[in-house]
Amino acid sequence: MAKHIVGLLTGLIFGFGLALSGMTQPEKVLGFLDMAGRWDPSLLFVLGGAVGVTVISFRFILRRKKPVLDSRYYFSDETHIDRSLVIGAVLFGVGWGIGGYCPGPAVTLLAAPSWELWAFLPAMLLGIFLQKFWAARREEKNVVDEVAEQNDCS
């Protein structure tokens, strides 16, 4: 129960912060990304403010062996820079640079959707679905290949 309340509360703060910061205005986001136009540097302050808080607070938080309401932390301990990370970041960057929306603001804007959201959000969800589907298919195929290989050896 406590965890659910934390979910709602942190979501509220996050959503309010996104709207206040200007990240939910795609035109403003593109004004920041467009360095050849009339560059609007204000979104640097969003990232600076957010990362400033997390860099300092995470140091203290992660000194605790476990979070207050759970027995472990849930982030990946992967450190290897793999192809998926790089290609994923490139594709995401292209999409973000075209429209000015990243996933957080896209969901947040359900609070006051313009026509744009009805084009962007379903496409984004479809994109996530296609990637998961494709990844699951590939994994299945790998398992089949491995089994085939093992059979070859035996």
- Residue with Cβ nearer another protein (54 or 144): 54
Can you tell me the distance from the alpha carbon of 134 to that of 145, in angstroms, rounded to the nearest whole number? 16
Q: Examine residue 111 and tell whether it contacts another protein (CB under 8 A).
A: yes
Selection from 132, 111, 135 nearest residue 121 by Cα:
111
Binding mask 15-54 for another protein (x = CB under 8 A): xxxxxxxxxxxxx--x--xxxxx--xxxxxxxxxxxxxxx
Token code pair at residue 121: 């959000």
Selection from 49, 30, 46 nearest residue 38 by Cα:
30
Q: Provide the minimum distance between the beta carbon of 145 and another protein in the complex, in angstroms, as a whole number.
A: 21
Q: Examine residue 88 and tell whether it contacts another protein (CB under 8 A).
A: yes
Residue of 66, 148, 150, 152 that binds another protein (CB under 8 A): 66
